[in-house]
Amino acid sequence: MSYSLKECGLTPKRIELLNKANIFNSDDLFSYYPYRYDVLESIPYKDWKVNDKVIFEGILISKPTTYKYRGNRSVSRFNVLSEDDVINVTIYNRHWVSQLTLEQKLVIIGKYEGNNKVTASNYYGKPIDEFLGINPVYPLVDKLTQKNVNESIKKAFNKLKDKIENIIPNEFIIRYRLLNKKDAIRMIHFPKSHNEIKLALRTLKYEEFLKFNVAINLIREANDSTTFNQGKSFNYDDVFVLANNLSFNLTKDQLRSVNEILDDLSSNKIMYRLLQGDVGSGKTLVAALGLYATFLSGKQGALLAPTEILAKQHYKSLKTLFRPTNVKIEVLYSALSTVKKKDLLDKLINKEIDILVGTHAILQDNVVFNDLGMVVADEQHRFGVKQREKLREKGDKVDFLLMSATPIPRTLAMILYGDMDISTIETMPKGRKPVKTYLINENSFMSVIDEIEEKLALSEQIYIICAAIEESENFEARNTVDIYNNLKEYFDGRYNVGLLHGKMKSEEKEDVMEEFSKNKIQVLISTTVIEVGVNVVNATVMIIYDAHRYGLSQLHQLRGRIQRGNKEGICYLLTDSKDEESLNRLNVLLKSNNGFEISAEDLRLRGPGDILGTRQSGVPGFILGDIFKDTKIINQSRIDAKEIIENKDKPDNNRFIKLIEKESTSYMD
C-alpha cells in the first residue's frame, strides 16, 4: 500500500520539492534509489594525496571572505585548524558562509588540491561521526539537495516501516532467500556494509523483473483472449502479384515478415506485431503488403505517421506502389482546410477510401471508418496503448502492426516487447551502400569545408544538424539560427541555404522540405526534426554538430537520411568534447553500420529507460535492473511470472496480479 507524502510526515515545502523530482507518494520515495555510494573515512592529513576526496573536522580560525562574479555566482575562502594543521578552504556559491563565527567547529568534505588547500563541496556543523561510513548519493533536480532526499526517506521509513508489506509472493521469497521489502528498503538507502547493498539489489531487481514479466504476460493473455469467428479472407497469391510488379525482389527477411503478417491477418485473433528493421531495410513495403491484403479482404486500412511531413511522404510512396490496383488512398493531417477535411471524412465513412494515411489526427472522434481492419503505426514508440484502444474501437478485428527503425537483437526484443509477436528484417536491399562516418574532434564547419565544397560542386545536397534552435544560456551547443546566418552569408550567390526546426509552422516546414527535395535548397540546417523518414535521394552528406549530445541510435537514424540513393553517403560527427567515454561511444558509429549492433550498444550504455519509458504498453520499467548484466534474474523471473499466471488461485499470486493490474493503468499514456 502506498501513502501520501503528507502521511510520510513531510512538510508542504519539502513535498513541493520532491514533486519536481516526480516523487508523489511513499512508493516513489522509497524507489528513488541512489545512483552510487560514497564511502567516507577520516584519513590523517599526512596521508592525503592530491585529488583525494577528504573529510575532516576543524575549528574556523579566519573570517570567510566572499567574492561575487557572473551574476549570483560566488567564491568564498576561509581557514580552519585541523589538529595542528592550518587548511585553506575554498567553496563556491555558498555566500552565506560569511555568517559562520570564529572558533566554530566544522566538518569539511572536499577535494585535496595540495599545499594545505581543499576545495570543499560542502560543510556541516554536526559531529564527523554522522558522516563516516557508506553514504548514498541521489540524482537531483531543481533545488532538491542530497540532504533533502536523505532526510525525507529517513523520516518516511521510520514512520512507515511497520506498514511496509512484501510485494513478491512469499513462496518466491523463501525459494530464493530474498529479503523482506522493509529490510531491502533499509539496506538500499541506509546500508551498514557493501554486502547489505548487494542483498538489497538482488531482492529489488528481482521484484522489478517479476512485475515487468507478469505485466507482459497479462497483456499477452488479454490479447489472446479476444477471438473472432473468422479472420480476414484474401488470397495470398493476389498479395504477391503486387510484390512481383516491383522493379526489385523482396529480401528473404521481407518475404518471411510478409508471410507472418498475412498469417496473423487471416487468423481469428487480433494481430499485435512489432516489425523492426534497420533504416532503409524496407519495412514500409512489408507493411503496405499487409494493408493490401486488408483491402483485398474488403476492409479499410490506416497508416499512422508521427509527423505531417512523413505522413505525406508515406501517402506519395503508397500511391506509387498501388498504382496498378484500384486501391483508393487519402492523407489526413491537421492543416487540411475544413472543407477538404469534411469531404475526406464523408468519403471515409462511405467506404470511398480504402487506406487512410495520416498523423495522430486519425485518432480524433470525428474520424469514422466504415470498416477498419488494420492499423500500421510508424515509429511505434510514439504510439501509446490508449491510442491503440481508440483505433480498435473504430472497427471489427482491427489488427495492429507497429514499425520500429530502432531495432534491437531478438533476445532483447523478446524481453522488452514480450507482449508482441516480432518480425525482424536484418538483410538490407541489394545495392544499398553503407554510410561512411568520420569523427572530427572539432566543433567547426570549417574542418570539413573542402569536402563540402566538392560535394556541392557535384550538385549533391547537405544536411547540417544542430542540437539547439537558438542560442541559450542554459544549453551550450551550436544552434540552427546562428549556423544558418553564417552559412547563408558564406554561400551567398552560389548555393541556397534553408532552415528547418520544430518551432516553425507546419506549412513553413513543408515548404522548406519541398524545396530541399526539389534541390532548390542545397544546404539544409536543421534540428533532429528530419530524424524520422524524410526521403531526399540527392542528399549525400550530413554534418552533426555536438555529436556527443545524441544517443547512438538517434545518430544512426539521422545518418540513415543520406542512405537513400545509389551514391555513397558521408556523415561527419563534430564534437569538441574531451570526455573519453563520449568519444569511445561515438567511435561505435565509425566501426558499424548495423542498426542492431548500434542499438544494442546504446541500450547497454544508456539503459532501456527511453524505450520502456515511451513504449506506453502498461508495463513497469526498470530502475535498478540491467537487461544486459542481470540476464539470470530476468530469465528466472520470466519462468516465475508464468508460474504466477498459471496459479492465479493462490492468494499471494492473486494479490500480486491485482497489484500489477492496478499499477499498469498508471503506466499507460
Q: Give pLDDT tens digits for 437-467.
A: 999 999 888 889 999 999 999 999 999 999 8
C-alpha cell at 317: 510512396
What amino acid is encoded at 517 in this protein?
S
Which pLDDT tens digit goes with each residue over 595-629? 888 888 887 776 665 454 444 455 666 888 888 78
Backbone angles phi, psi at 244, to 5 degrees: -75, -15
pTM of the full structure: 0.72
pLDDT digits (tens, 9 = 90+) for 352-375: 999 999 988 888 889 999 999 999
Residue 554: pLDDT over 80:
yes
Res 430 pLDDT > 70: yes
Terminal Cα distance for the chain, rounded? 23
pLDDT at 380: 54
**Cα(275)–Cα(287) distance, integer angstroms:** 8
CA distances from residue 42 to 87, 129, 131, 194, 382 in whole angstroms, order as listed: 15, 9, 10, 18, 51
The gap from C-alpha 136 to its chain's centroid, in whole angstroms, comes to 26
Task: Read off the pLDDT of residues 1-57 as tens digits, 9 standing for 90 and up.
Answer: 789 999 999 999 999 999 999 999 999 999 999 999 988 888 888 889 999 989 999
Q: Strands 73-82 and 53-60: what pairing?
A: antiparallel
pLDDT band at 472 (very low <50, low <70, confident <90, very high): low
pLDDT digits (tens, 9 = 90+) for 283-320: 999 999 999 999 999 999 999 988 787 888 899 889 99
- What distance in Å separates the CA atoms of residue 573 and residue 542, rounded to the nearest whole number? 8
Question: Where do runs of H (alpha helix) occur along 350-463?
Answer: 385-392, 410-416, 449-457
> 454 by DSSP, 3-state: which?
helix
Residue with cell 516526480: 22
Write down the pLDDT at residue 612: 47
What does the buried/exposed string (b/e) look like for 338-361 if buried means 16 or more CB atoms within 10 Å of the residue's CB?
eeebeebbeebeeeebbbbbbbbb
Report the distance separating Cα 135 and Cα 150, nearest Å. Answer: 10
What is the greatest pairwise CA distance in the chain? 93
* CA dist., res. 525 & res. 489, Å (int): 13
What's the pLDDT score for residue 1? 78
Residue 401 pLDDT greater than 80, yes or no: yes
Average pLDDT over residues 330-357: 93
In order of their start, the domains of the chain are 1-38+143-164 (no CATH), 42-131 (2.40.50.140), 261-425 (3.40.50.300), 436-592 (3.40.50.300)
Q: Confidence band (pLDDT; 50, 70, 90) for 165?
A: very high
Query: Is 8:26 a contact under the CB 8 Å cutoff?
Result: yes
Is residue 166 scored above 70 in pLDDT?
A: yes
Name the one residue in this structure whose C-alpha cell is 545509389.
Answer: 566
Separation of alpha carbons 484 and 155, rounded Å: 54
Q: Is the pLDDT of residue 667 over 60?
A: no
pLDDT tier for residue 228 given thresholds of 50, 70 and 90: confident
Q: What is the DSSP string of 201-241?
A: HHHHHHHHHHHHHHHHHHHHHHHHH-B-S------HHHHHH
User: What is the side-by-side strand order in the sheet with 355-358?
Assistant: 329-332, 355-358, 300-304, 372-377, 395-404, 272-277, 421-425
Q: What's the rounded Cα separation, in Å, for the pair 663 and 658?
A: 9
Q: What is the mean pLDDT of residues 530-541?
A: 75
Alpha-carbon distance of 389 to 41, in angstroms, equals 56
pLDDT in tens, 119-132: 999 899 888 888 88
CB 187 within 8 A of CB 196: yes
Those residues whose C-beta lies under 8 Å from the C-beta of residue 291, and which sit 6 or more positions away, are 301, 303, 318, 355, 374, 376
- Which pLDDT belongs to residue 227? 76
Name the percent of the chain lying above pLDDT 90: 52
**Hunting for cell 530524424 — which residue is that?**
531
Three cell numbers at 225? 483472449
Average pLDDT over residues 628-633: 86
What is the Cα–Cα distance from 174 to 203, expressed in whole angstroms?
12
Which pairing describes strands 53-60 and 539-544: parallel, antiparallel, or unpaired? unpaired
Instruction: Report the range of poorest mean pLDDT among 200-204, 332-336, 382-386.
Output: 382-386
Contacts of 347 (CB under 8 A, 6+ apart): 330, 353
| Residues 276-298 as b or e (16 or more Cβ within 10 Å = b) | bbbbbbbbbbbbbbbbbbbbbbe
Instruction: Check: CB of residue 213 under 8 Å from CB of residue 637.
Output: yes
Dist. CA 666–CA 659, nearest whole Å: 11
Note the pLDDT of residue 608. Answer: 60
| Average pLDDT rounded to a whole number, residues 550-554 | 86
Tens digit of each residue's pLDDT (9 = 90 or more) over 558-586 = 888 887 767 888 999 999 988 888 898 89
Asked which of 251-260, 271-280, 485-494 is least confident by mean pLDDT, the reply is 271-280
pLDDT for 616 equals 43
406 pLDDT band, cuts 50/70/90, is confident
Residue 134: its H or E element: strand 133-137
> Alpha helices, DSSP H only, in 400-448?
410-416
For residues 315-328, give the mean pLDDT: 92
Q: How high is the pLDDT of residue 205? A: 95
Strands 117-124 and 85-92 turn out to be: parallel
